[in-house]
């Protein structure tokens, strides 16, 4: 059984939850939107920071910490965005880091989005 994680993030009109817990596992996808649901301006660094802030808020709303994160999948729309995303990403984690993959893709759900993450975490046993 899955349980939605209640957050203070913008309530999407799409049929989704920002995160769910199921069998002690946390699942989420995060994008660079602000409290009004608008994609933040300012390029990849601003969008990476908003995405990671949204992620940190969501994982804490689930009663977890960044140390519980087991895997992160990073999507960026240009190869030169990845080093910038990495710089921001590194501010949110300490060793041991989560397992990670990064993909350069043609586009995301909203044309103005430059990044998105999918992440998983585990509750302490």
**83-114 exposure pattern, b = at least 16 Cβ within 10 A, e = fewer:** ebbeebbeebeeeeebeeebeeeeebeeeebb
Domain assignment present for residue 12? The answer is no
Domain assignment present for residue 5? The answer is no
Domain assignment present for residue 64? The answer is yes
Domain assignment present for residue 10? The answer is no
The count of other CB atoms within 10 Å of the CB of residue 46 is: 16
Task: List, in sequence order, every residue forming a beta bridge with 19; answer none if it has no partner.
Answer: 28
Structure tokens at 52: 């990671």
Predicted local confidence at residue 125, as pLDDT: 61
Rounded mean pLDDT for each run of 10 residues along the chain, 125 residues in total: 96 93 97 97 98 98 98 98 98 97 97 98 85
Structure tokens at 68: 């519980």
Q: Write down the H helix ranges in the chain.
A: 43-61, 82-90
Domain CATH code at residue 69? 3.30.1330.40
Domain assignment present for residue 88? The answer is yes
Domain assignment present for residue 69? The answer is yes
Domain assignment present for residue 43? The answer is yes
For the whole model, what pTM was predicted?
0.96
Domain assignment present for residue 11? The answer is no
Say how far apart CA 38 and CA 60 lie, in whole Å: 22
C-alpha torsion angle, residues 7, 9, 10, 11 (rounded to 10): -20
Q: How many domains does the chain have?
A: 1
Structure tokens at 36: 């009004």
Beta-strand runs (E) in the chain: 2-4, 19-22, 25-30, 69-76, 99-104, 115-122
Predicted local confidence at residue 124, as pLDDT: 78
Q: Which domain holds residue 96?
A: 17-122
């Amino acid at each position: 059984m899955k349980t939605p994680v209640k957050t203070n993030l913008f309530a999407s009109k799409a049929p989704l939850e920002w995160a769910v817990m199921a069998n002690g596992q946390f699942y989420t996808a995060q994008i660079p939107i602000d409290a009004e649901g608008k994609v933040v301006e300012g390029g990849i660094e601003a969008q990476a920071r908003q995405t990671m802030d949204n992620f940190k808020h969501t994982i804490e709303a689930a009663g977890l910490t960044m140390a519980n994160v087991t895997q992160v999948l990073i999507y960026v729309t240009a190869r030169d965005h990845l080093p910038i995303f990495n710089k921001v990403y590194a501010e949110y984690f300490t060793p041991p880091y989560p397992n990670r993959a990064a993909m350069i893709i043609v586009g995301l759900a909203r044309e103005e989005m430059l990044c998105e993450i999918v992440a998983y975490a585990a509750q302490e046993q």
